[in-house]
Amino acid sequence: MRRVPRLLAAEVLRAARAFPALILTGPRRAGKTTLLRGLFPRADYRLLEDPDTLARVRADPRLFIEELRPPAILDEIQNAPELLNYLRARIDLRPARRGQWFLTGSQEAPLMRGVSESMAGRAAVFHLLPFSLQETPKVSLLGGGFPEALARPRTAPLWYRSYVQTYLERDVRAVAAIRDLAAFRRFLALLASRIGRILNRSDLAGPLGVSVPTVSEWLAILEVTSQIVLVAPFFENFGKRLVKSPKVYFADTGLACHLLGIDTQAMLDRSPFLGPLFENFVATEIVKHQLNAGRARALYYFRDQQGLEVDFVVPLGSDRLALIEAKASRTVRPDDARALLRLAQAVDRYRTSSVVVHRAGKTPPATAALSAGAVAAVPGELPSILDAGRATARRRRGKGAAA
């Protein structure tokens, strides 16, 4: 598979011209190192998982930093967090020099704690997920978006199995001392079967024979290592009782399919998990689009206790929302937009765009009117729909400011 340009590249280059340092987090094998080494081919590169390199860092971290000739890429910085203080001192000696230090990390939360303490105001922070459909049409619900799985689709099941056994387990051991990795693997498969559901820790703990605090710890590990995405509920003062727990999705549907034992398109088409997996795919495409544009993740769902439910609510600006329903069917009907239109009426202080996202058929996709106030689209059309909504919000804010 030839090198595919990453959409985040433009934001990374822009940040390199404005900040002394840059932090790039994300799951293992998502392409962080490839992106940085491609953008900055002359940068001095150090992998902080190499035993010899780590030994040098531990022996004399100041000397290690002083021997580097910026620009420099420090890969997997979470393995040597003690370097952050020395980097801060080096940056403060010449604060006007931009684009000098590029750091990657596969464990977002621990890394961010170090950044907030040592690099505040000195580093731009980005998050890279596996490929999106906007970046390459090879991305699919079954195949996911990890570069190596896409490069060799015939051996993708083997790649995902190895990924679980090596990278995930290595990160898990680095974050927490889990003794029963077999139980943790069962937890991964069970969690994959709960995609798109309201998170219920007791429901997960019971079948595994572990405690609820253990499940909470394991969920935190998956979130820290960027393997899952928790989607919070959208709150408004509707005078209704709203559900307050998050929904859970995997950051890559190829990995989720592997955990569910789905290895072929025929198995996927027959699977009872097709609907939740497609919903997961839509969720990650939205999040990838936001992160690749250098924006913060902003994705919610809506459910009240009267039965009104909408898969996704996406803020587009101060007065706009995109309301999105994911349908695994290739055929959509006006009734599929009913919940979207009901919620649009309930949040009448916002201008809303209602979209039913469905699987693509053999004919070329085209956004189509579904009913008054709603359209039908396929996942590949989501970026243009969301960007159009944001552009409208900006124009409206501009008019308001001028007035």
232: β partners: 300
Q: Phi and psi for 201 in degrees, rounded to 5?
A: -65, -35
Helices (H) and strands (E) in the chain, counts: 17, 13
Task: State the pLDDT at residue 108.
Answer: 67
Cβ contact 305:241 at 8 Å:
yes
Other CB atoms closer than 10 Å to residue 69's CB: what's the count? 10
Q: Tokens in use for 5? A: 């340009």
Burial class (CB within 10 angstroms; exposed 0-12, middle 13-18, buried 19+) of 368: exposed
Cα–Cα distance between 186 and 201 in angstroms, integer? 15
pLDDT digit string (tens) for the chain, length 403 residues: 578 999 999 999 999 999 999 999 999 899 999 999 999 999 999 999 899 999 999 999 999 999 999 999 999 988 888 898 899 999 999 888 999 999 998 876 666 666 666 777 889 999 999 999 999 999 999 999 999 999 999 999 999 999 998 877 777 776 666 777 888 889 999 999 999 999 999 999 999 999 999 999 999 889 988 999 999 999 765 556 677 889 999 999 999 999 999 999 999 999 999 999 999 999 999 999 999 999 999 999 999 878 889 999 999 987 899 999 999 999 889 999 999 999 999 888 899 999 999 998 777 556 677 778 899 999 999 999 999 878 776 666 665 544 3
Q: What is the pLDDT of residue 403?
A: 35
Single pTM value for the model: 0.92
- Could you tell me which residues come within 8 angstroms of residue 84 by beta carbon, excluding any fewer than 6 positions away? 77, 114, 115, 117, 118, 119
Distance separating alpha carbons of residues 294 and 125, to the nearest angstrom: 9
Domains of the chain: 9-127 (3.40.50.300), 147-292 (1.10.10.10), 308-402 (no CATH)
Close Cβ partners of 179 (under 8 Å, ≥ 6 residues apart): none
Question: Can you read off the two tokens belonging to residue 138?
Answer: 């090879």
pLDDT of amino acid 239? 54
| pLDDT score recorded for residue 402 | 41
Res 8: pLDDT: 98
The CA R_g of the chain, rounded to the nearest whole Å, is 22
In this structure, what are the phi and psi dihedrals at residue 249, rounded to the nearest 5 degrees? -135, 160
CB 291 within 8 A of CB 127: yes
Q: Among 105, 110, 114, 108, which residue's Cα sits nearest to residue 87?
A: 114
Tell me, letter by letter, the H, E, C secondary structure of 155-172. HHHHHHHHHHHHHHHHHH
Nearest to 110 by CA among 230, 220, 28, 212: 220
Q: Could you tell me which residues are beta bridge partners of residue 230? A: 248
Nearest-angstrom CA–CA distance, 370 and 344: 15
For residues 311 and 282, give the distance between their C-alpha atoms in angstroms, rounded to a whole number: 10
Please state, in angstroms and rounded to a whole number, the distance separating the CA atoms of residues 311 and 324.
Answer: 6
- pLDDT of the residue at 401: 46
